[in-house]
Amino acid sequence: MSENNEYEKDNIEFETEQLTNSLESDSIDVFRSLFLELHPYDQAKLFGKLTQEQREKVYQFLSPEEMAGIFENVNTDEEDYETYLSEMDSNYVADMLGQMYADDAVDVLNELDKDQVAGYLSIMDVDAAQEIRELLHYDEYTAGSIMTTEFIAIEANQTARSALQILKNEAPRAETIYYVYVINEDKRLVGVLTLRDLIIADEDTMIAEITNERVVSVSVSEDQEEVARRMRDYNFLAVPVVDHQNHLLGIITVDDIIDVIDEEASDDYSKLAGISDVDGADRHSFASAKKRLPWLIILLFLGMLTANLIGRFEETLDQVSILAVFIPLIAGMAGNTGTQALAVAIRRIATGDVLNESKIKLILREAGTGLITGSVCGILIMGIVFFWKSNLFLGVLVGLSVLITLIVATLAGALVPLIMHKCKVDPAVASGPFITTINDIISILIYLGLATVFMNFLL
């Protein structure tokens, strides 16, 4: 396997060198011959490695239609899109966007400011511009914003022969042909059939006879994460998008859903880490610091609250200074178990599992988990403290604090995301650093509060 990888790597490096050499020598025929043989993904990957001077030659060597295939596979930041488009002639950009699938063109335009978008649309092909405008009107992160209008729809009152002819005519422009959607005279979705159904049907068979009327669709305003979950559950290659009157507006294909899943996972991971954008957080030091500072400043003030809380128990710590030794241990245990419960709760919310069972059941299970882990850890630390400091009550105090803290921290880690989900707030905002700091405060309050109450036994 490693030999194959090395061979593939060497082959890619060789092809890259050949292509860059052909650009440097202005060998348009050599470049086109080599470049257009590559997979569109490899084309986009190579394009991202070129210098500005080399990219400007690529725009001369490739047509807008050929460039459209590259941009449909480019996965980059807003700044890079603006850079690339600024290097091209405006008419070239407009032609390229018009040749792209509408949903992919919308993805590019969403990274630009409104004036730039209006400018490109004004010089674009009228039909393509109208199609893109319709998609731009939908709210971001909804089914409408990621659907494509390049699909194949046929009417039920026609034969398989005529449907196949429509399929042949429209297939070159359609994003997928594996599903053919059936509509009525009012353009309402009434069913679906697969390409296989159409091919094996007798040519004189009416479409209505072979249509599967139990079609699963999504609303145009439905959240893209819910759409991704639906497609995962049904193993669809595409899903139709309808309005509230069941008019067929477009389809969402599996390649777009893979992008959504990647985007949502990256977004959740960013929030769990207390960073606004983990993907772009390491490009420049200033940009990285800018994205991390907001959460760090919030946590700084929460840390000051923790310090103030410890100061409130200064008298207790003065009388029994050994108590300070165990503060990091108890706070750390609370943060760890809270983060574990948080990760489990957010995962269940993200996958939709929390909708399939009682929230009370989930909370009780987490409470039981906290009780078991707290009991084991509490007994263990109680024995360690007793043999270490030869003080039974100190061991009992630390063990009891660990027990209560782990129960409360586990419940907090599970409850906070559930409450936020109920309030229609992204539960991933309850990030690991946030939960950890909150549990630090709770654990110190429990530990030093118990120590204050039972001070006489300690003395």
Q: What is the pTM of this model?
A: 0.63
CA distance 451 to 443: 12
- Collapsed DSSP state (helix, strand, coil) of residue 240: strand
Give mean pLDDT, residues 98-107: 89
Give the residue-averaged pLDDT of 339-363: 73
More confident residue, 15 or 142: 142
In whole angstroms, what is the distance from residue 208 CA to residue 28 CA? Answer: 52
Closest by Cα among 341, 335, 401, 328 to 370: 341
CA dist., res. 347 & res. 337, Å (int): 15
- Mode of pairing for the β-strands spanning 179-183 and 189-194: antiparallel
User: What distance in Å separates the CA atoms of residue 266 and residue 430, rounded to the nearest whole number?
Assistant: 15
Residue among 173, 172, 168 at smallest CA distance from 148: 173
Work out the mean pLDDT of the chain and round it to a whole number.
Answer: 84
* pLDDT tens by residue, 33-91: 989 998 888 888 888 888 899 999 999 999 999 999 999 888 766 678 888 999 999 99
Residue 401: the pLDDT is 92
CA-based R_g, the chain, Å = 30
Q: Report the residue count for the chain.
A: 459
Q: pLDDT band at residue 1, thresholds of 50, 70 and 90?
A: very low
pLDDT band at 7, cuts 50/70/90? very low
Band of pLDDT at residue 17, cut at 50, 70 and 90: confident
Burial of 257 (0-12, 13-18, 19+ CB in 10 A): buried
Residues 246-262: what's their mean pLDDT? 89
Q: Are 269 and 277 in contact (CB under 8 A)?
A: no
Mean pLDDT value across residues 304-333: 83
pLDDT band at 283 (very low <50, low <70, confident <90, very high): low
Measured in degrees and rounded to the nearest 5, phi and psi for residue 223 equal -65, 140
Residue by residue, DSSP assigns 11-38 as HHHHHHHHHHHHHHTT-HHHHHHHHTTS
Instruction: Output b/e per residue, 383-420; b: 16+ Cβ within 10 A.
Output: eebbeeeebeebbbbbbbbbbbbbbbbbbbbbbbbbeb
- Closest by Cα among 138, 150, 321 to 250: 150
Question: Which residues lie closer than 8 Å to 90 by C-beta, 6 or more apart?
Answer: 119, 120, 123
pLDDT tens digits, 194-219: 999 999 999 999 999 999 999 999 99
Domain architecture of the chain: domains with CATH: 2-137 (1.25.60.10), 153-267 (3.10.580.10), 285-458 (1.10.357.20)
pLDDT score of 422: 78
More confident residue, 364 or 6: 364
User: What burial class does residue 330 get, using C-beta atoms within 10 Å of its C-beta: 0-12 exposed, 13-18 middle, 19+ buried?
Assistant: buried
pLDDT at 78: 63
> What does 138-189 look like in DSSP terms, one character per residue?
SPTTBHHHH-BS---EEESSSBHHHHHHHHHHHTTT-S--SEEEEE-TT-BE
CA distance 230 to 168: 30
DSSP 3-state of 137: coil
The whole-number pLDDT of residue 249 equals 94
Q: Answer whether 297's CB lies under 8 Å from 434's CB.
A: no
Strand order in the sheet with 189-194: 153-155, 179-183, 189-194
**Which segment of 128-137, 292-301, 450-459 scores lowest on mean pLDDT?**
292-301
Residue 3's Cβ-count burial label (10 Å; 0-12, 13-18, 19+) is: exposed
Position 110 scores a pLDDT of 86
Mean pLDDT computed over 125-140: 89
Instruction: Check residue 281 and give its pLDDT.
Output: 47
Picking from 162-171, 183-192, 311-320, 372-381, which range would have the lowest pLDDT averaged per residue? 311-320
Contacts of 179 (CB under 8 A, 6+ apart): 192, 193, 194, 195, 237, 238, 251
User: Residues near 74 by Cβ (< 8 Å), separated by ≥ 6?
Assistant: 44, 47, 48, 80, 81, 84
Cα distance from N-terminal residue to C-terminal residue, the chain = 67
* Separation CA 360–CA 258 (nearest Å): 33
How confident is the model over 97-115, as a mean pLDDT? 88
For the stretch 440-456, pLDDT in tens is 888 888 988 888 888 87
Share of the chain above pLDDT 90, in %: 33
